[in-house]
Amino acid sequence: MTLVTITSDWKNGDYYLAALKGSLLSLSSDISVVDITNSIPSFDVLQEIFIIKSAYRHFPQNTIHLMGVMSEPAPGANIVIVFGEGHYFVGVNDGRFSLLFDNPSAVCFEILKGRSIAFSSFNSLELFKEAVDIICTNSFETRTKICDVKRESSPGVVHNENNITGRVLYIDSFGNAITNIERRVFDSIHKGRDFTIFVQGPYTKINRISRGYNDSSPGEIIALFNSAGLLEIAVNQGNIALLESINPSSEIRIRFAQTEYIEKKEKTL
């Protein structure tokens, strides 16, 4: 059985999703199609990357992941197949794959058929089908050529010995704000010190990391590290995004008590 996932901004009211699924199922009765999500805001490639990066490791090895956001090829940005960390990814080679993998050893294959397609609309229908067929029949040698993964940079986490500055990557369906601040970065700087997390400026402050959503009172604003190891800002039984007008790219700052201050405080006790 070949497992194919779809992540897109196509929603469910258009024919695009049905047409793609039908074309994939027509390739082989051994293909199974799974939706990760088709509700990504239109053209939001960064949200697509975050969702796929968070989900793909939970699928079996050799799963094929179709990346449907901004999926129309363009001159200099063709649809490619990328094999990395035991999975296949299919999408436009516009820099998104360099944001998807921490491992630069992923192999990229340009689909030769893509060169002969006249650019009109929904070319990804034919090219996604072509990519899946290439993978299923292992015909890379005759239907693709090795190419480079285009590189792209994204705003990262900035930190020093007393501060961490990150940003919100994603707002989930409960209104929880998931950031790009990893637990390992927090732990490496924390070292048992007091800290304050500033959400959307100086007014909303959090001074502890909760073990879970219920490690607080209803309505309390909390911070926790989620199953992906990322710092998450939430409200117990509430919606932090609406409450604090948080959006993807909103800044989150953490300030740690300086060592000199802690030593002086201990001497006065």
The pLDDT of residue 211 is 93
Contact 97, 82 (CB under 8 A): yes
pLDDT (average), residues 67-92 = 93
Q: How high does pLDDT run on average in the chain?
A: 91
Q: Is 176 helix (H, G, I), strand (E, B) or coil?
A: coil
The pLDDT of residue 250 is 94
The pLDDT of residue 157 is 92
The pLDDT of residue 269 is 47
Q: Tell me which of 115-129, 147-161, 214-228 is least confident.
A: 115-129
Q: What is the pLDDT of residues 15-30, one digit of tens each?
A: 999 999 999 999 999 9
CA–CA dist 165, 159 (Å, integer)? 6
The pLDDT of residue 226 is 95
Q: Tell me whether residue 240 is exposed, middle or buried, using C-beta atoms within 10 angstroms of its C-beta: 0 to 12, 13 to 18, 19 or more.
A: buried
CA–CA dist 194, 203 (Å, integer)? 18
| Residue 89 pLDDT class (50, 70, 90 cuts) | very high
CA–CA dist 215, 236 (Å, integer)? 9
**For the chain, what percent of residues have pLDDT higher than 90?**
78
CA–CA dist 37, 51 (Å, integer)? 8
Contact 169, 178 (CB under 8 A): yes
The pLDDT of residue 119 is 55
pLDDT (average), residues 87-114 = 89
Q: What angle do CA 149, 71, 42 make, to 5 degrees?
A: 120
Closest CA to 127 of 53, 77, 85, 87: 77
Distance between start and end Cα atoms, the chain:
67
| Residue 260 pLDDT class (50, 70, 90 cuts) | low
pLDDT (average), residues 210-228 = 93
State the number of CA atoms in the 13 A half-sphere of 22 facing the CB. Answer: 5
Q: Is 92 helix (H, G, I), strand (E, B) or coil?
A: strand
Is it the case that residue 115 has pLDDT exceeding 80? no
Is it the case that residue 258 has pLDDT exceeding 90? no
The pLDDT of residue 152 is 81
Closest CA to 139 of 107, 108, 106, 111: 111
Query: Which tokens go with 11?
Result: 């929603």
The pLDDT of residue 87 is 97
Q: What is the pLDDT of residues 126-176, one digit of tens each?
A: 999 999 999 999 999 999 999 999 988 767 899 999 999 999 999 999 999
**Domains, the chain:** 2-147 (3.40.50.10790), 158-268 (2.40.30.90)
Is it the case that residue 77 has pLDDT exceeding 90? no
CA-only gyration radius of the chain, Å = 22
Contact 90, 81 (CB under 8 A): yes
| Furthest CA-CA distance within the chain | 77
Q: Which residue has the tokens 């637990």?
A: 183
pLDDT (average), residues 182-207 = 92
Q: Is 170 helix (H, G, I), strand (E, B) or coil?
A: strand
- Phi first, then psi: what are they for 235, rounded to 5°? -120, 130
CA–CA dist 87, 78 (Å, integer)? 19
Residue 226 identity (one-letter amino acid): N
Q: What is the pLDDT of residues 59-76, one digit of tens each?
A: 999 999 999 999 988 878
The pLDDT of residue 266 is 47
Of 156 and 188, more confident: 188
CA–CA dist 194, 259 (Å, integer)? 10
